[in-house]
Amino acid sequence: MAEAVVCFVAEGLEEFVSRNGEYLSEIRDQVQLALTELQLMRSFAKFVDRRQGDDVEASSWVAIIRDAAYDLEVIVETYALKVVLRRKGVIQSAMKRYACIFIDRIRVRKIESIICDITNTISELRLSLQTNKIEVLIPTYLPPRDTEHHPHPIVGLGAEVEKLVRQLLEDENRVVSIWGMGGIGKTTLAKEVYHHNAVRRHFDCFAWVCISHQFEARRVLEEILVQFISPTYEQREEIASMWDDEIVDKLFFLQREKRCLVVMDDIWRIDSWHNLQVAFPTYEATGSKILLTTRNREVASADGNGFIFECYPLSVNESWELFENIAFFGRNDRGSEIFGKMKELGVDMIRHCKGLPIAIVALAGLLVRKKTLDEWNTVFKNIFENSRDIIGEYVGVRGMLAMSYDDLPYYLKPCFLYLGQFPEDLEIPAKELTQLWIAEGFISLAQQKQRLLATVEDVAYNCLSELVERHIVQVGKRGSVRKIKTCRMHDLMRDLCLWKAEEENFLQIVNFSNIAHKPTGKVRRLALYFDENDFELVSSRSESLDHVRSLLFFGPKNWIPKSTTYILSTFKDLKFLRVLKVEYMVKEVRLPTEIGNMLCLRFLSLRKSNIIWLPPSLGNLICLQTLNLDFCHSNDRTPIIPNVIWKMEQLRHLYLLYYSSSTILRLSNLCNLQTLSCVSSEFCVMSDLTKLTNLRKLGIQLSRPIQNLEELLRSANSTLNRIQSLFVKNDVGVNSQEEVMQIVLSCCRIYKLKLYGPIKELSTDPQHYPNLTKLSLCKCHLKDDQMAILEKLPNLRILLLQYLSFQESTETLVCSRGGFLRLETLSLEYLTTMEEWRIEKGAMPSLLQLGIHCCHGLKTVPHGLVYINSLREFTISRMPRTFYSRLQKGGEDFYIVQHVPSLVLGDVHEE
C-alpha cells in the first residue's frame, strides 16, 4: 500500500496545486520540493510493499511513507483552503488587516517548517533505500477487460440442486439445512434452489435474508414479512410500528395460510436460530419451508430441523472445469506447447485449492491476466510459499485470496480495502461507492488521461469492473443498460479485506454494540456501526481521531439515536474530513455551524435524515464534489437551504428533495455538475441550467410555471443534449403539462425517463426517443391511445406504469402485434381503474419479467401471455382472491401461465 498511498496522494496534490497555485504562492517552493521527493519515492514504494510481509523493517518503512504522504496532503490542502476563504471573505478594517498579516507570517513560517520536516523524512528514507541498492520498479496500468460476457460457471451442482428441490417440494421436513465450510458454495447452491423453476411455481411467497455475525431478530423477521407481502408505503409504516409479538404472529399466520419459502443465509450460532425459530411453525404440517445455510453443524442439526445436506469440496474434474472456464477465457492458443505447460501448472495449482470454489475462482481470476509461462511459474512458486504459512480449516484458501490482493495494481488496492467499511452482506450501491473513491483521491486525472476516458467517474466505474473481473468483488444487481448497480463481497473475501486493512492501518471499524471497542492508533478512516439499542456513545474528543479523513455512520434505516451529541460533536472535532456519511437519522437535527470548519470535505451525505436547519457556513465547503441533501421530513417541516451552494464550484453531484429556501438558490457557478436531482422551479432560476454544460442526470420539480420556457430551452440546447437521465415532477397540474413535454423533447438523448404528474400527450414520433431504455410513469393521466405510442419506442427495455398513468376513465389497455419488441421488464402498479388488459399475438416477444400489483379492477390475466415464451418471472401481489384462484392449478386461467417458470402469488387484497 505504500505505492498506492504515494501515488494517489502525489497525483491528488499535483491536481490540487495546479488548480489552487495562486493560493500557495508563499509556500510554493516547499510544496514543490516535497512533491518532487514523493515522486522519487514512488519508484521505491513497490519494492517496499513486496518486502512488507517478510520483515519488520519493511513494515516500518511503509508506515513512515504512508504517514508522511498523508500529513503532507492535509497540511497543504488546509493551508490553501483557508487562504481561499480569507480572500473571498469580507474586507477587514485596516487595524485588523495589519494584525492578520502579522499572524499570517507566523503561520506561514510554521507551515514551511512542517513541510520541510515531512520532506526531510521522505528524503532520508529514500536515500537510505537508494544506498542499499533497492531495485526500482516502475508501475504500469493495464486497461480493464470487458466483463459483460465473462463466464461465471456453476459446476457440479445439478444433482445437488435437484435433490434439495425434491426435499422442499415433496418431503415433510419443514427445515432443510445446507452445511459446510466457508467458501464451499453453500450460498451459490441455495440461490440455484431458490430460483429453480419448480420451486418458484410451487411456493406462493418468498423471502431471502442474510444472517450476519451480529444481527437483530426483529429486523430479520420484519424484512421477511416485507418480502412476503410486498407492502404499500402505508403498510410498511404499520409494520414498523408493530410490537415484536405482532410480527411473529403475522408471520406464523401467513405460513399456515400460504406456501412460503424462507432462505436464511449464513446462520453462525445456535442461539441465532433459536431467536428466529419462534416465528416459524417448524413442528406443524404446513406447506411452508425454511432453507438455511450454515458453517455450524450444531445449527444444521438443531431440534426441529429436518433434512441436512452437507456440502463437499469439488472433485478434481469439477475443480478443473471451473478453473479452466475462467483462467483460459479468451485464449486462442489452445493446443500449443505453451498452453499445454500452462495447463500442467494449472492442474498442480488447483490441488492447493482443496476443491473450494472461492479459492479456485480467486486463483483463476488472478491467472486470467497472466499471459506468459514465466508469470504462471511465479504464481505457482508463490502458492507453495503461502501454503506453508496457512493452517486450520482454510488451508490454501487465505493464501489464494491474499495472492489476489497482492497481484492488484496499486490503483486498485485502496479501492478494494475501502469496501471493508461496509457492513457484512450489504449490497453496496456502485454509484455511491465510486463517488466515495473519487472523494478519497483514489481516482486521479492521470488515470483518466491514460485510459482516454471522459470523466473520473468513468475511471472509477472501470476500477469496479476490474475488481469484478478479477473475481474479488461480486455483482449484486445490474441496471437497465447492464451497468453494475450494486456490488458485494463474499464473507471470506471481506475477512481478507479487513485483515489487510488492519495490517495497512487503512481503516478501523467501531461497533457500538461492543462498548469496549474503541478506535486506537492514528486512524485515517473510521466506520461506526450502531443499532436501535446503542449505548451511551464514547466521546469523539480523542487525539487518536485528529487524523480522520473519512467517517461513515452505519445504522438501521429509520434510526432514532438516543442522543445526537456524539454525531454533532463530530462536526466540531474532525476538521480534516474528506468524507462524511450520516444517513437515516429520523430524529430532528439542526446542523451545527461548525460543519463549515471541514474545509477539505469532498463527500457529504445526509440522505433520509431529518435535518431541520442548515447553517450558512455550509458555503465554506468549497471542495465538495458530492452533496446529498435528499432529506426525510416529518410534521410538514421542510428544511430551508441557505443560498450558498453556488460557492461549491467543484460540486459534481447534488441531490435535493423536499426543500425550501429563503432566497433563490444560485446554481450557475456549478460548471462541473453532472447530477442535479431534484431542482425546484420555485426556489431556483431555471436559466442557470444553461450554464451546467456537464449535466448527465437532471431532476426538475415544477412547483410553479417557468417563464420564457421556449427561449430557455433553445439557449440550453447544448446542455440538454448531454442529459442521459431525466425526471420531471409536475406539481402545478394541468396548466404545466405542456411544459413537461417541451422539457422532455429538448432532452433528445435520454436513456432513462421518469414522469410524475399530468402531461398532455407523448410525441407521436418514436424517433424523438431513440435511446430511451427505461420509462416510469405515475399520475400522468394519459389517454388509452397513448399505449400505441409507448409500444413503438425502439429501444425500450423497462416500463413501469404506476398509479394513474392513464386517465381514470381508461378501462382497457391493449398491447398490439409487433409492439414492445425489446421490452424485457413490465410492471403495472396501482392501475385501479383498469378492468381489461389485452395482449395480441406477436406483442412483447422479448419480455422476461412481468409484475401486476394492486390493479384491483383487473379481472383476469390477458390470454395473450400464452404466446410470450420468453417470460421467465411473473409476480402478482395485492390482487383480489378470485384473481389468484383463476391462476392456480385447476383454475380457468392456469393454462395461460403454466409455461412461466417462476409464478409468484403474493399477498391477497381483501376488499
Furthest-apart CA atoms within the chain: distance in Å: 93
Beta bridge partners of 428: 487
Give the model's pLDDT for residue 95: 40
State the angle between helix axes of 217-229 and 233-240 in degrees (0 to 180), rounded to the nearest 10: 150
> What confidence score (pLDDT) does residue 385 get?
63
For residue 526, the SS3 value is strand
Pairing of strands 260-267, 873-877: unpaired
Predicted pLDDT of residue 399: 74
CA gap 770, 745 in Å, rounded: 11
Output the pLDDT for position 841.
94
| Rounded-to-integer distance, Cα 747 and Cα 558, Å | 36
Q: pLDDT at position 409, please?
A: 87
H or E element, residue 839: strand 836-839
The pLDDT of residue 207 is 92
Q: Which of these, 656, 618, 612, lies nearest to 638 by C-alpha position?
A: 612
Single out the residue of 147, 149, 756, 191 nearest to residue 473, CA to CA: 147
Would you state the pLDDT for residue 90? Answer: 41
> How, if at all, do strands 428-429 and 550-554 pair?
unpaired
Spatial distance between the Cα atoms of 334 and 623, rounded to a whole number of angstroms: 52
Q: What pLDDT score was predicted for residue 142?
A: 37
CA distances to 209, 214, 558, 773 from 217, in Å: 11, 10, 17, 40
Q: Exposed (0-12), middle (13-18) or buried (19+): which is 251, by Cβ within 10 Å?
A: buried
pLDDT in tens, 359-386: 888 888 888 888 888 989 888 887 766 5
Compute the distance between CA of residue 346 and CA of residue 365 in angstroms, rounded to an integer: 12
The three three-digit cell numbers of residue 285, written as one number: 404440517
* In contact, 827 and 844? CB cutoff 8 Å: no
- The whole-number mean pLDDT for each consecutive block of 10 residues of the chain, a chain of 911 residues, reads 76 78 78 80 69 65 80 83 70 44 64 84 77 49 42 63 90 86 87 88 88 79 86 76 88 88 90 86 80 89 76 87 84 78 88 86 87 88 62 58 86 93 91 95 75 81 92 88 90 90 87 60 83 50 68 75 61 81 80 86 89 88 92 70 92 86 86 91 87 92 85 83 92 85 88 92 81 94 90 94 90 93 94 92 95 91 94 90 88 92 80 62
pLDDT of residue 387: 54
